[in-house]
Amino acid sequence: VQLQASGGGLVQAGGSLRLSCAASERIFGTYFMGWFRQAPGKEREFVGVISWSGDRLYYADSVKGRFTISGDSAKNTVYLQMSSLKPEDTAVYYCAVSPYCNRDYTRIPYWGQGTQVTVSS
């Protein structure tokens, strides 16, 4: 599976951005698509994940209530709607696909190329 992420950019604190991640092929209904992020000098961290069937959805505590993940199975695309952005949300955001619900980035088999999100104060 190849993943193409897009939608990053520069935004002021309190603003919003929507990231998209398109998969090159149909995702199995039992798989999960999610987002991770990596700030400079820090380890890659879990942001959120959705089951492709849509019945399971999890977020990191740091983004809960501000970020929303959704999927469009017809387009093989997952979205990350980010609102009330903070400077500490600045990072490269990566989309990921896994047959399991993984919060551990070392266990993710498929990655997108990453898209930069910069939040200015």
Cα 75 to Cα 12: distance, rounded to the nearest angstrom: 30
The answer to whether the CB of 35 falls within 8 A of the CB of 50 is no
Per-residue pLDDT of the chain (121 residues; tens, 9 = 90+): 899 999 999 999 999 999 999 999 888 778 999 999 999 999 999 999 999 888 899 999 999 999 999 998 889 999 999 999 999 999 999 999 999 998 999 999 999 999 999 999 9
